[in-house]
Amino acid sequence: MRHTAPLRDGHQIRLIDGGEAYFQAVITAVDRARSQVQLETYIFDFHGAAAAVAEALERAALRGVRVWLVVDGVGTGRLPAEWALRFERAGVSCRVYSPLGALGLLIPSRWRRLHRKLCVVDGQQAFCGGINILDDWYDPHHGTLSHPRLDFAVQARGALVQQVQETMTQLWWRLQAVRHVRQHNFPEAFSSFRAAGLHLPWTHEDGTAEPDQIKARAGLLLRDNVRHRSQIERAYLKAIGMARREIVIANAYFLPGRRVRAALIHAARRGVRVRLLLQGRYEYFMQYHAVRPVYGALLASGVEIHEYTASFLHAKVAVIDPDSDRPWATVGSSNLDPLSLLLAREANVVVADRTFAVQLHRRLVQAMEEQSTPIDAATYLSRPWHQRLRDRIAFGLMRLMLFISGLRY
């Protein structure tokens, strides 16, 4: 069995709380770019504040910076005609990961999506988290929101920047190769496949750092369908198994498999305080209802569950033993559900630093205490029959999807 990714010293890490702060940080970095910007996102919406990110990419390309943008074929699909033309005129190179085609998601292989949210600027700094290029105060299905989404990202300098850049560049050249194959340009396709296997020289950092960055040990975790099929899940299992005092997990779409559920239950039974911050507002039928059948066993073992109700929860983060001599925290794109852990391309950053862990822990506790509703066993057992029926239907549909895909969870 492969080990989880090693953590390395010497990183400068900054926690970013919310889309507004994330957009500001990305735009600042892109506006300072001198050679290359690489951006991957599941959703690029172009509405409201998100348009400012698009404008920054456009400005960079117009001044000669090489800009590579990859969006997912489900989360984003085709770019709006206006922005597709603006990007083309500016020189922004854009690729769509796994376009759906005529049959859409009826083909199980197309359930494998690009869910990573990554950005690298000049090979010197990287961004990783759960935040899409989507206005925090707007939802495409629900309109204007009363409060911004709860979500996080990290800005990093150090060795993991090279890892992020390599994984993004490999994907880019693979997409280029597929594009050339469809155009029957096989020599170029072969060249692109060769480029996808190359390791890039790391452009060492220029010493510029944000004042609130923390020097920390950190590492990059990936999930894909080749070399990193279970790296993120194994990292969670190891960290949960080593927890001594406290585990706090915030997940937008939480449906852990048997191993993660068992690890959380065992942790609670051995005296570790386990708190989950989960989605409390209805967003999608499957994600909202399929999780609730697993509440019972967790609550019975002493796991505390809080449902975030102030707005939509989109975070995929965790903190374990923040005040100890072995703090562990992760921020990224991966939910603890089968879509993230078995199908999608995901990326998380793990940080082993007390200051960072305490900072993230404090924010999550605030959200649980001030913006969430605690769920106890009595409340869970007394929910209406029609809600329990929908919960079971959603859970059954999720199991059916896993059966069709041929994956075990």
Residues involved in catalysis:
115, 117, 122, 314, 316, 321
CA 158 to chain centre: 20
Give helix 160-182 / helix 186-196 axis angle, nearest 10°: 170
- In a 10 Å sphere around its CB, with 0-12 CB exposed, 13-18 middle and 19+ buried, how is residue 237 labelled? middle
Looking up tokens 């070399």 gives 227
Say if CB 41 and CB 76 are below 8 A apart.
Answer: yes
Helices (H), strands (E): how many in the chain?
A: 13, 17
Say if CB 20 and CB 112 are below 8 A apart.
Answer: no
d(CA 362, CA 365): 5
d(CA 293, CA 40): 34
d(CA 274, CA 88): 49
Residues found in the chain:
409
CB atoms within 10 A of CB 386: 8
Amino acid making up residue 221: L
DSSP state of 291: T
β-strands 152-157, 246-251 pairing:
unpaired
Closest CA to 361 of 332, 337, 331, 333: 331
Q: How far is CA 397 from CA 111, 281, 290, 300, 391, in A?
A: 14, 20, 8, 25, 10
- In a 10 Å sphere around its CB, with 0-12 CB exposed, 13-18 middle and 19+ buried, how is residue 184 labelled? exposed
d(CA 281, CA 260): 24
β-strands 125-129, 118-121 pairing:
antiparallel
d(CA 161, CA 166): 9
